[in-house]
Structure 1
Amino acid sequence: MPHDELSTASDLVTHAARLVRASRQHIHSTPPAGVRVLSLLDEHGPCGVGQLAQLDRTSQPTMSGLVRTLVERGWVTKESDPDDARATLVAFTPAGREALAVIRERNAMAVLTAVREHPTLTPEDLTTAVKVLHEVLEATAHQQEGQQ
């Protein structure tokens, strides 16, 4: 792979991560780790704490603490796993779904404001950026499936 392509791919990942961090600043008080857990539940459905830890690439004790905080906020519940009476599943509450929707809306408004105020960016540029990121994520998911 040519170095320029590798550098550009690296820049995409770096800038995407920075955009996520920038859009979260000063717009809500939910810790980013809590938002990640809510996003994982939205993407994967109810999960055990161990599975959430694996998906988030964190330790099970760390994830247990995050889940405990979200339970205290009323955003998730821990319920018995119907397939394994010894295990629990972490699932959204209606308040958790609403909280994630509000967080995403605020993040979106931060990005939209930046695009609108930029001297050269257009709504079409935003649409193209979303399309590219979506396609890259799909390709990455297919690569990971092939490695398992």
Structure 2
Amino acid sequence: MSTPDVDDLSSDLTVYAARLVRLVRREHAPSAGIRVLSILDETGPLAITALAQIDRCSQPTMTGQVNQLVEAGWSTKEPNPADARSSLVYLTDAGRAELARIRQLSAALVSERLARRTELSTNDLATAVAVLQAVLEPAPPTTPEGNS
């Protein structure tokens, strides 16, 4: 599927998705902790080392972020049953509620901007969401042609 048009559009998709994320962050100034809550929401419980790797930060930085989340009641640390030397970070109900609140603020910002773009339809928005979902989800396994 790689053609110059697809490559250019793929680049544009990446650029505009990143710009949208930065716009939302500027408007709502969510803390780095919200990123951590979002990672936990996506992946489930993780060790601090794994969280740091996913967020591309140092382990001490992630430890500080997790400690702040624990103090806020948005996450908990519990012993790791697979490794007694580490703990797993869990998202709490309060953390889920805070994440939902931030996501609602983000949705309202995007909805407000979309309302000013009368040339765009709900179908256009649904297509954009479908494309992003397809890019982010693992591709289904392929089978050799003729073998199902």
**TM beyond 0.5:** yes
Cα distance change of structure 1 residues 111 and 72 upon mapping to structure 2, 3 Å threshold: same
SS of the residue 1:80 aligns to: strand
TM-aligned CA deviation for residue 142 of structure 1: 4.2
8 Å CA contact 1:116, 1:122 repeated in 2:
no
What is the distance in 2 between the residues matched to 1:2 and 1:127? 24
TM-aligned CA deviation for residue 126 of structure 1: 0.8
8 Å CA contact 1:80, 1:89 repeated in 2:
yes
Structure 1, residues 118-138: CA drift from partner, whole Å, max 9, x if none? Answer: 131111111111011111112
Which residue does the alignment assign to 2:25? 24
Which residue does the alignment assign to 2:64? 65
Structure 2: runs of 5+ lacking an equivalent: 141-148
TM-aligned CA deviation for residue 63 of structure 1: 1.3
TM-aligned CA deviation for residue 87 of structure 1: 1.1
Paired residues in the alignment total: 139
**Identical positions, percent:** 50
TM-aligned CA deviation for residue 54 of structure 1: 1.5
Aligned alpha-carbon RMSD (Å): 1.7
- 13-22 vs 82-91, greater mean Cα deviation: 82-91
Structure 1, residues 78-99: CA drift from partner, whole Å, max 9, x if none? Answer: 1111222221011111111100
Structure 1: runs of 5+ lacking an equivalent: 144-148
What is the distance in 2 between the residues matched to 1:68 and 1:53? 13
What is the distance in 2 between the residues matched to 1:23 and 1:125? 20
What is the distance in 1 between the residues matched to 2:22 and 2:72? 22
Normalising by the residue count of structure 2, what TM-score does the alignment of the two structures yield?
0.85
- 126-135 vs 5-14, greater mean Cα deviation: 5-14
Greater share of residues in helix? 1
Q: Which structure has the greater CA radius of gyration?
A: 2
